[in-house]
Amino acid sequence: KALQDKYPGKVDVIHPKVSDEVPSNFYLVPDFSRIGKIKGLLQGRVHKYNPWVKNFIDQHKAEYSHCFINCGIFGDLVKDIQARGIKVCVIHHNYEVEFQMDNRSMPTFGGRFSYFVRRNERNAYRHADLNLFLTNSDIETFKCEYGDISNGKNKVIGIFEDVDRSFDDVKGRALSPRNLVICGSLNSVQTVRGMEHFSTNCLPSLHKCFNEDFTLLLTGRNPNEYICKLAGNDSRIRLIPNPENMSETIIDSGIFICPTNVGGGIKLRVMDGLKLGMPIITHKVSARGYDAFWGEKWFQVYDDAESFKLALDNVVEIIKDNQGLRDEIIESYRRYFSFSSGKERFLSSITSFLS
């Protein structure tokens, strides 16, 4: 959207077919059959864009000068697109190998899937004209895994919303430290691992800090058996599965907790708390990409039972001492994650690439 705002009528999008009603500048990639997906994987293809994209560009290459690839998993296309006279920028959302392995829901064919994902991501990183990352942590991981490319090709843009939104309906609300919330996909590997660690190492601190007088809200998609059992065994935990509107469901909470302790990239759930003006207590893995807030008293990072207890004490104290805390957090969120600020950051990072 940032590109379309800057260059109206000059940006086309290649996208998987999700419906028949799409904008006129969208070109839809047909889906693979199940057999086609298995056959493609055995041949080293981990996505359906190749060879469709190469055929498309062969037909339209005179119309394009630059290409943005939205994920390193499509790295097998980089050199082919460049060979057709088009510069390539790759936006890396995370360390894809780690993400795929943490979230896999299908057999990996003896590890072949991981091998091809790594191959594609390495090609994207090494050969793209520009690499954009969401976090500094991901750049450091890529340097360790794929080599240090110190030629100005790697830049961090962070993440931002796709619209400029109003916060008037949230500002001024009081924060209650006894109402805490954890949200996300409640059946994903990342969430469940994080909750297992949290329930053992951190949940006892909530009971002790609030003398049993608190509510921990768990909400998100399709809670699995472990999450349901956890909520069923603790009267202080309230479970709301599959909420229709996440913001409306969690708005009355006073502290946002993100316990996810595995996986790469930036954890978007933290933004759910920030944009509603909630103090954040997050595992250090989920703090990646939120560097701008490190050091703020309302953004606390933990990695074990002791550091969680300290983080909780700090957040409870600052809520009591700062009546305008919610508005302060919302303003910090707006300065960094609003569409306007993110668009400016993104366009600045690609200036030399477009020249």
**pLDDT value of position 331:** 92
User: Is 37 or 117 the better-scoring residue by pLDDT?
Assistant: 117
- Examine the pLDDT at 264 and tell me if it is beyond 80: no
pLDDT in tens, 22-44: 888 999 888 777 777 767 776 77
Q: How remote is the C-alpha of 259 from its chain's centroid?
A: 14
pLDDT in tens, 163-189: 887 777 788 888 999 999 999 999 988
Distance in angstroms (rounded) separating the CA atoms of residues 302 and 297: 13
Residues 6+ apart with CB under 8 A from 92: 71, 72, 121, 124, 125, 131, 132, 133, 134, 138, 142
Confidence of residue 107 (pLDDT cuts 50, 70, 90): very low
The C-alpha torsion from 168 through 169 and 170 to 176, rounded to 10°, is 140
The secondary structure of residue 245, as a DSSP letter, is -
Average pLDDT over residues 289-307: 94
Distance in angstroms (rounded) separating the CA atoms of residues 68 and 77: 11
pLDDT in tens, 222-234: 999 999 999 999 9
pLDDT averaged over the chain? 90
Distance in angstroms (rounded) separating the CA atoms of residues 219 and 245: 11
Rounded (to 5) percent helix, strand, coil in the chain: 45, 15, 40
Distance in angstroms (rounded) separating the CA atoms of residues 319 and 256: 13
Token reading at 58: 């062969």
pTM of the model: 0.86
- Examine the pLDDT at 106 and tell me if it is beyond 70: no
